Structure 1
Amino acid sequence: MRKSLIDTDILSETRKGKNPKINAKSITYRAIWQQYTISVITVSEIIKGWRKINRNDRIQEFLADLSEVEILHLDQSCAEISGLIQADLEKAGQPIGLADVLIASIAIENNLILVTGNTKHYKNIQTLGYPLLIDNWRE
């Protein structure tokens, strides 16, 4: 199992622990790598989700858990890749959310497999020829 970047949807489902397929894959992954790797974008998305429903307690719980997670940041190379991807998707008439483009660029720049259940958007990036590898833990 290669090192992966865990997308927001899979991290959320992993934290809930309700999907047996995701649970099994996450246990195997943690046994090999000892921690999850996420992007700083995922941190923002998780906090946004809890804030929208006024669950500051869950935000604090999530923040406390971040000490056990590797967080990758958006650097200039990622920003350049994301700009190219976003422009190419728009030219192809297949725009997706900026957060997904940024997460994909972090995965590409760090040569990581993107673990996501949101394969539709990310496959559009692959179709454009970007070297994005995807693994859907829901399957």
Structure 2
Amino acid sequence: MFLQLQEITSLVNIISFGRTEVKYAASIRVNLEQQGTPIGPYDILIAASALANNLTLVTDNTSEFKRVSGLKIEDW
């Protein structure tokens, strides 16, 4: 199983979650809660990672992620 995990992870780019991502996550959470339109905690972390790394988020869950200001999303 470990070898399978190594094989899979060798095919993808793994992004670290550091201070910049934490700041984005906090900002997203505060902004959405103030608007009364919160999203799930894992979705906040995903959105923060995409924003911090200037990435487009590919998702089938556009209804939640479209609430995040400045987030580029692609509906798949």
Give yes or no for TM over 0.5.
Answer: yes
Shorter chain as normaliser: what TM range? 0.7 to 0.9
Query: Amino acid of the residue matched to residue 73 of structure 2?
Result: I
Secondary structure of 2:10's counterpart equals helix
Secondary structure of 1:69's counterpart equals coil
For residues 80 and 122 of structure 1, what CA distance do their matches in structure 2 show? Answer: 17
Moved over 3 A (4+): none
2:71 maps to what in 1?
132
* 1:68 corresponds to 2:11: yes
Match of 2:66 among 115, 123, 129: 123
Query: Amino acid of the residue matched to residue 5 of structure 2?
Result: L
Q: Aligned-residue CA RMSD in angstroms?
A: 1.6
For residues 62 and 91 of structure 1, what CA distance do their matches in structure 2 show? Answer: 43
Query: Amino acid of the residue matched to residue 133 of structure 1?
Result: K
Structure label with greater radius of gyration: 1
For residues 4 and 47 of structure 2, what CA distance do their matches in structure 1 show? Answer: 22
What is the CA-CA distance between 1:110 and the residue it aligns to?
A: 0.8
What is the CA-CA distance between 1:114 and the residue it aligns to?
A: 0.5
Q: Which runs of 5+ in 1 are unaligned?
A: 1-56
Query: With CA pairs under 8 Å and 6+ residues apart, which has the higher RCO, 1 or 2?
Result: 1
Is the alpha carbon distance of 1:97 and 1:61 closer, same or farther for their aligned partners in structure 2, counting shifts above 3 Å?
farther
Number of residue pairs aligned between Structure 1 and Structure 2: 75
What is the CA-CA distance between 1:61 and the residue it aligns to?
A: 7.3
For residues 74 and 38 of structure 2, what CA distance do their matches in structure 1 show? Answer: 21
Q: Percent identity?
A: 37
For residues 133 and 104 of structure 1, what CA distance do their matches in structure 2 show? Answer: 9
What is the CA-CA distance between 1:131 and the residue it aligns to?
A: 1.5
Q: TM-score of the superposition, structure 1-length normalised?
A: 0.50
Secondary structure of 2:9's counterpart equals helix
